[in-house]
Amino acid sequence: MKIIVDANIVFSGILNTNGKIGDILINSGKIFSFIAPDFLRSEIYLHYDKLMKISKLSLEQVREAEYQICKSITFVSEEQIHLPNWLFAEKLVTGIDPKDIVYVAYAKQFKCKLWTGDKKLINGLAEKNYHNVVTTNDLFDIKTSLHFDRN
């Protein structure tokens, strides 16, 4: 199952690699295929100081957490997304948060769900009858049920 991962999910995973989000990103490679916009790598780099401050981790520890979280994510450049998908996402996300256009465009391009914890985005998209979103709990439930099925 392909999943588009947004920035707040990646940052949450880096801040707590032992939490649900970290567990899903680190230990679900055989279940989920994670995709994120290429610019997210530079976003992480730009926020090292904030990540260190919030987590109370050293730069080396933040970088190790970043590696653990991001090694299962395929980063794709924005140039790979076709114009109609950008236009669809722009129209859909208007009035919610323009920063999220990219994630909706990726979900449309790759015909998969968007993983976000952003309630404003989830609710705004739902009001526009777009339900191609998955939550952390949804993915955790899928991961857990598949794990039990294999035993």
**In the prediction, which pLDDT does 145 show?**
86
Confidence tier at 148 by pLDDT (50, 70, 90): low
**In the prediction, which pLDDT does 144 show?**
87
Best CA proximity match to 73, nearest among 41, 111, 117, 50: 41
Beta-strand pair 133-134/33-37: unpaired
pLDDT at 151 over 90: no
**In the prediction, which pLDDT does 149 show?**
47
Residues 117-138, mean pLDDT to the nearest whole number:
95
pLDDT at 22 over 90: yes
Residues 53 and 145: their CA atoms lie apart, in Å, by 36
pLDDT above 90 as % of the chain:
92
Share the mean pLDDT of the chain: 93
The number of beta carbons lying within 10 Å of the beta carbon of residue 136 is 18
Residues 38-61, mean pLDDT to the nearest whole number:
94
pLDDT digits (tens, 9 = 90+) for 66-112: 999 999 999 999 999 999 999 999 999 999 999 999 999 999 999 99
Residues 51 and 99: their CA atoms lie apart, in Å, by 20
